[in-house]
Amino acid sequence: MPLTASPDERWDFVLKSLKKEGRLTTGELAEHFGISEDSARRDLRELASKGLIQRVHGAALPASSAAQPFASRYKIASRIKTRLAELAVAHLTEGQVVLFDGGTTNLAIAEQVPRSLCITAVTNSPQIAIALSKKPNVDIILIGGTFDPRSQTTIGSTVLETVQRIKADVCFVGVHGVDALRGLTTPYYDEATIKAAMIASGKKVIAAVTKDKVGFTSAYKIESVCSLDSLIAEDQQEVVQQLSCIEDAGVPVELV
């Protein structure tokens, strides 16, 4: 491959490689075009900033579904989200105060709450509040604030102050990425602080994630993985090593 390959040519190669192979390392990109690994890393940073790929340590993966609009994300992996949700609601017991962060998987959890279960649900997600309103024995507290169309949740100082006054028995936290070293992350600065407060408010903190979020890192750190009391994840070969590292960090991992 000539050294004069343009960035567009290199980016096209990255996207085609990911579509075919599912993963491309920085070294493979550098070797293919005869460029330095620093240059290869710059290419991957540029593509990640445009939402075209997701970066993990030393490599690129196909773009995370988290970059898509909420309505589109809700339809992705709907069956596995239901299975994750079924395992998540098994942690709930009668009379608990349950904090629901936003997100499509947490919406699936809300939909799987048994109609007979009496709980108090606190959430900053109107979508989750609507789903829980169909459960006759659930008392719902919807936290007001500035509505964020990206996440379909309320954000801002009012949300943060309200969350800090809550002591929840269970917190279902939504994350865009979970990595053994880099922790729980989100692409939005204003969400990170609220999610961290939710974690601090929960006696038991649970994250349920699809495979595309395991090993993925977004821009802003929420907390370390050790802040989780349970991680519920897909049992997929491509993430088994990362899940093993998370377990080694002391986080119980439940697989579906």
Q: Where are the domains of the chain?
A: 7-63, 70-255
Q: At residue 166, does pLDDT exceed 70?
A: yes
Q: At residue 115, does pLDDT exceed 60?
A: yes
Quote the pLDDT of residue 30. 92
CA distances from 3 to 6, 34, 104, 152, 201 (A): 9, 6, 44, 45, 54
Quote the pLDDT of residue 19. 73
Q: What is the mean pLDDT of the chain?
A: 90
Beta pairing partners, 122 = 99, 141
> Is there a contact between 63 and 11 (Cβ–Cβ < 8 Å)?
no
Rounded CA-CA distance 58/90 in Å is 37
Mean pLDDT of 63-92: 76
* Percentage of residues in the chain having pLDDT higher than 90: 69
Beta pairing partners, 181 = none
Q: At residue 83, does pLDDT exceed 60?
A: yes
Rounded CA-CA distance 12/64 in Å is 18
Q: What is the pLDDT of residues 238-249, one digit of tens each?
A: 899 999 999 999
Quote the pLDDT of residue 32. 93
Quote the pLDDT of residue 1. 46
Quote the pLDDT of residue 156. 95
| pLDDT band per the 50, 70, 90 thresholds, residue 78 | confident
Q: Which pTM does this prediction carry?
A: 0.76
Q: At residue 77, does pLDDT exceed 90?
A: no
Side chain identity, residue 181? L
Cα dihedral 88, 255, 247, 180, rounded to 10, equals -80
Quote the pLDDT of residue 180. 95
Quote the pLDDT of residue 69. 59
Beta pairing partners, 231 = 207, 253
Rounded CA-CA distance 18/55 in Å is 12
Domain 70-255 coded CATH 3.40.50.1360: yes
| pLDDT band per the 50, 70, 90 thresholds, residue 64 | low
Q: At residue 100, does pLDDT exceed 90?
A: yes
Fold of 7-63: Arc Repressor Mutant, subunit A (1.10.10)
| pLDDT band per the 50, 70, 90 thresholds, residue 18 | confident
Per the document, the length of the chain is 256
